[in-house]
Structures are given as structure tokens and as C-alpha cells.
Amino acid sequence: MMTLKVNGHDHQIDADPDTPLLYVLRDDIKLNAAKFGCGLGQCGACTVIVDGKAVLSCVTPLLLLEGKQVTTLEGLGTLEAPAPIQRAFVEEQAAQCGYCIAGMMMRAQALLQRNSKPTDEQIRAELEPHLCRCGTHMRILRAVHRAIRLMDTADASSASQRSAQ
């Protein structure tokens, strides 16, 4: 039995300690966003955020996660209240089959959390571990750039709200 903190909630996980986080998320906690693409750390579809950093959940066993905070796409926002990255991907219609997208978004989110104004080159380098077979790359890049602007305005508006108080 292990306690795993996912999206701000504690979960009691009854799984072998060598279970990759991907299966804990999907099979035990019933979350959908992190996907099985290869299980080998080669494609990025399983990417989630652990303690602020993007990780490949298919090669991250449960036993590494004691005391760490896991964030999945579900933890960023919902249909009713989407996070800037989610809004950006919808507004850019940055998906064809969409299977790779959750992983891309988590990687981008982790990047923007530590560098709010990456260059196009930095974004491309950051997404290197990720495969997209449908060829949605151009839109994914546009969506990340859009997310930068959305996060910027969100910060700006909350800052002006604060100063207005």
C-alpha cells in the first residue's frame, strides 16, 4: 500500500512498487489522459508532471514517487474551467487523432512553468521526446505559442486585479 498524491489528492494505491506510474494512473486511479504509446520511454504519450518536471510515466515505477506530487492533464483544468494550455490547444484545433496530445501538453506545461517565454527553437527542442504520427506538429507549436500568450494575459489580468485592490 502506498500513498500517491495525484492532482492534489491522496490516493491509496494497492499495486506492486515496480508498477509504472502509467498503469497506476490509468488502471488504479482511472485517469485517461496519460496514454500507453510504447511503454519503452520512446514516444512521450505517457508524459505527466512530477514535482514540476515532465516525466515519462511508463518508465517511472511507483517506488520512485514516495512523497512526490504527480500532476496529470486532468489536474490542470476541466471542460468547464480549462487551463490556458488546454484552451490554447482547443483554439488552435491542435489535434488530429489526438492520442499524442496529452503528453505534448504536459511537456509544454512543464516548460512554461519554468520558462514563461521560451523561443520557438526551445519549444521544438523540448518536444523532442514526443512523437506525433498524424503530423500535427505545426499546430502543436502554434498551440504552445498561444498558451504562452494566454498565460501572459492571465498573469497580467490577475496582477492588475491585485493592484486594483
Partner 1 sequence: MTASMILDRRRVLAGGGALIVSFSLSDAFAQDQAAPVAAPAPSPPGSLKGTPFLDSWIRIDADGSITVFTGKAELGQGFRTAFQQIAAEELDVAFDSLTVITADTRRTPNEGYTSGSHSTQDSGTAIQNAAAQVREFLVAEAARRLNLPAESLRTENGAVISTDGQRVSYGELVAADVLHVRAQPKSKLKDPATFKVMGQSFQRVDIPAKVTGGAAYVQDMRLPGMVHARVVRPPSYGAQLTECDTVAIEKLPGVVKVVRDGNFLAVVAQKEFQAIKAMAALAAAAKWKETAGLPKQDDLLRVLTSLPSQDQTIFQQSNPSAVGTKTIEATYTRPYQSHGSIGPSCAVAQFVNDAMTVWTHTQGVYPDRQGIAEMLRVPPASVRLIHVEGSGCYGHNGADDAAADAALIARQLPGVPVRVQWMREQEHAWEPFGPAMVTKLKASLDGSGAISDWNFEVWSNTHSMRPGGAGSMLAAQHMAQPFAVPAPKPIPLPEGGGDRNAIPIYKFPNAHVVHHFIPAMPVRVSSMRALGAYHNVFSIESFMDELAAAAGADPVEFRLKHLDDSRGRDVIDKAAQGFKWQKGQKAPQDRGFGFAFARYKNLAAYCAVATEVEVNRETGRPRLVRAVAAVDSGQTVNPDGLVNQIEGAIMQSMSWTLYESVTFDDTRITSIDWQTYPILRFNAVPDSIEVHVINRPGQPFLGSGETGQGPAAASIANAIANATGRRLRNLPLTRKRIKDAIDA
Partner 2 sequence: MQTPFGTIFSTNITPDAETGIGRWPEAAFRRAMRSGVDRAGRHLYPTFPYDHFTNVSDEDDQALYAYLMTRQPVRAPAHANQLPFPLDQRFVIAGWKLLFLRRGTYQPDSTQSAEWNRGAYLVEGLAHCGACHTPRNALGAERPDARFAGGDADNWNAYAINAQSPAPIPWDADALFAYLRDGWQPDHGVARGPMAEVVSNLASVKESDVRAIATYMAGVFGAPTPERRRQAEAVLARVKTPSAHASQTNTAGAAIYTAACATCHETNRPLPYGGVNLGLSTAISSPDPRNAANIVLSGVRPVEGERSPIMPGFASSMNDDQISALLNYLRSRFSNRPAWTGVEKTVADARRTQTVFLQTSPGPRNAPADPTQRDKP
DSSP assignment letter at 126? H
Contact map string, positions 19 to 38, toward partner 2, x by CB under 8 A: --------------------
Q: Which amino acid is at 152?
A: D
| Residues 93-112 within binding reach of partner 1 (CB under 8 A) | 93, 95-102, 105
Q: What whole-number distance in Å separates Cα of residue 13 and Cα of residue 4?
A: 7
Residue 97 binding result from partner 2, partner 1, none, given CB thresholds of 5 to 8 Å by partner type: partner 1
**All three cell numbers of 57:** 510515466
Q: What whole-number distance in Å separates Cα of residue 55 and Cα of residue 25?
A: 13
Q: Are 154 and 160 in contact (CB under 8 A)?
A: no
DSSP run (H or E) holding 87: helix 84-91
Kindly indicate which of the ranges 53-61, 71-79, 96-104, 139-147 contains the residues binding partner 2, using the contact rule CB under 8 A. 53-61
Contact with partner 1 (CB under 8 A) among 5, 11, 68, 137: 137
* In the complex, minimum distance from the CB of residue 64 to partner 1, in angstroms, rounded to a whole number: 15
Binding footprint of partner 2 on the chain (CB under 8 A): 17-18, 40-42, 50, 53-56, 59-64, 125, 128-129
